[in-house]
Amino acid sequence: MHPFHLAFPVTDLTTTRRFYVDLLGCRVGRESDTWIDFDFWGHQITAHRVNGAVHVAGHNPVDGKAIPVPHFGVVLPWEDFHALAARLTQAQVTFIVPPYIRFAGEVGEQATMFLQDPAGNHLEFKAFRNPMNLFARS
């Protein structure tokens, strides 16, 4: 696996830290007064504090759901996805798209869920029933 890096805007570093560390379970890496690096399941994401609101460009229909664009996330092992979904549900997170099975019975069958961080950035977490089908076309 080659880790990726993603930088994204946030409006408050304290609430961002709580969300990514306390709720999602990420570790903090380097940080300053204006940004924080998080270990996002082995990938580096950097929250940069900005003034003003974070905007969503739009939504795209997928499997009967309005999927927010842009968004970012991670593909987890099947069991890890369900453990995270249960933890988020127990924490009474407001989901944009609650956990469900997408493309059931198809090559791309996956569990997925969408939520927002405190700044309004959209995150997707997913898991494939068969991880070998991550990029399978059909």
DSSP class per residue in the chain: ----EEEEEES-HHHHHIIIIIIT-PEEEEE-SSEEEEEETTEEEEEEE-SS-----EEEEETTEEEEES-EEEE--HHHHHHHHHHHHHTT--EEEEEEEESTTSTT-EEEEEEE-TTS-EEEEEEESSGGGTT---
Residues 35 and 80 in one domain: no
The pLDDT of residue 59 is 92
pTM of the model: 0.92
Residues 123 and 83 in one domain: yes
Residues 38 and 75 in one domain: no
Instruction: Give the structural domain span for 80.
Output: 68-133
Residues 43 and 95 in one domain: no
Q: Is residue 117 a part of any domain in this protein?
A: yes
Residues 73 and 110 in one domain: yes
Residues 80 and 43 in one domain: no
Q: Is residue 138 a part of any domain in this protein?
A: no
Query: How many domains, in total, are found in the chain?
Result: 2
CATH number, domain containing residue 73: 3.10.180.10
Q: Is residue 104 a part of any domain in this protein?
A: yes
Residues 79 and 125 in one domain: yes
Residues 80 and 45 in one domain: no
- The mean pLDDT of 62-81, rounded to a whole number, is 93
The pLDDT of residue 53 is 75
The pLDDT of residue 137 is 81
* Phi and psi torsions of 85, nearest 5°: -60, -40
pLDDT tens-place string over residues 42-70: 999 999 999 987 777 799 998 889 999 99
- The mean pLDDT of 76-97, rounded to a whole number, is 97
Q: Is residue 56 a part of any domain in this protein?
A: no
| pLDDT over threshold 90, residue 108 | no
Percent pLDDT > 70 in the chain is: 99
